[in-house]
Amino acid sequence: MKRTPFSPQKHHHEIIKLLENYYPDGFFNKNKEVGDLSLLFSLPQFKVLQEHSPCAVFILNHTVMRYDYFSENIKGILGYEAKRYMQPDGFEFAISTFHPNHASIFSNHIVPKIIEYYNEYPTDEVKNLRFSFSFLCRKSNDEYIWCMQQISVLETDENGFPLFTLVFLNDLKHIKKDEQLDFIVTERKKDGSMMPILASTFLDQTTMTFLSKRELEVLIWISKGLSTPEIATVLFISQDTVSNHRKNMLAKTKSKNTAELLNLAIRKGIL
């Protein structure tokens, strides 16, 4: 079978097309700037913090689909200069560093799912969502390492459409224990805690497993030591339903028992 060459331009175009269909007419090219945050980035204390931070930080301006900020410590993680991402084609360049299979998953599955949540959630609650996904990223020396990006909406316009997203990128090469791309959606609750509402695992470009919101709720109560009858009482569902959720989670994750399931959830950042 002839292998299709990797085209970051194609995936970049697909992502931009998805966003164009999501945003209202006239949204792009507003040239909105991040004024207040630019003052923060210029502080010497902030620069020192970034130098010692284990993760890179960047801000994507959705009105022009360009990065308004990229922390310089990205060089220590991937080997690229921050100014490379700040070029007009910086977003496309970032996509080009994804492993080809993972770039396809990102553009065909993850971005559409993020947009789906933007559409489903009330405009004043979009900022409570956090999207995390692991992927293979190519360093400047052509070595691929596992990384994780965590995306949150930083600012919206008057209609609730995201203007800026804040992104953290972490190096997972000493943590990642499998070869699966994980995608997790969490929601910030009133007490400030983050509750997982979707956990997906992509084994390849066509195979995906996921835990539902209800399954994740059951998993959280399991991690707190509650029994099946106690979980049924807390969630106002039957014990049989709780048992079915437990069985489904074991099957989906190929875990032998509850302890293995919990360890897997902790490793993947679900718990």
Over residues 104-121, the pLDDT tens digits come to 999 989 999 999 999 998
User: pTM of this prediction?
Assistant: 0.79
pLDDT at 2: 40
Say whether pLDDT at 4 is over 60.
Answer: no
pLDDT at 30: 61
% pLDDT > 70, the chain: 87
Q: How far is CA 263 from CA 12, 52, 83, 223, 268, in A?
A: 36, 29, 39, 10, 9
Banded pLDDT at 3 (limits 50, 70, 90): very low
> Helix crossing, 258-267 with 239-253: angle to 10°?
60
Residue 94 φ/ψ, nearest 5 degrees = -60, -45
Average pLDDT, the chain: 86
Say whether pLDDT at 128 is over 90.
Answer: yes
Banded pLDDT at 77 (limits 50, 70, 90): very high
Across 70-89, average pLDDT: 93
The Cα 232–Cα 150 span in angstroms is 32
Question: What residue type is assigned to position 5 of the chain?
Answer: P
Counting Cα atoms < 13 Å in the Cβ hemisphere of 191 gives 3
Instruction: Beginning with the edge strand found earlier in the chain, give each strand of the sheet holding 162-171 in spatial order.
Output: 66-70, 55-61, 162-171, 144-156, 129-138, 181-188, 194-202, 208-211
Over residues 134-146, the pLDDT tens digits come to 999 999 999 999 9
pLDDT at 131: 96
Over residues 64-75, the pLDDT tens digits come to 899 988 988 999
pLDDT at 40: 61
pLDDT at 173: 86
Beta strands 129-138 and 144-156 are antiparallel
- Compare 67 and 206 and report the one with higher pLDDT: 67
Say if CB 186 and CB 220 are below 8 A apart.
no
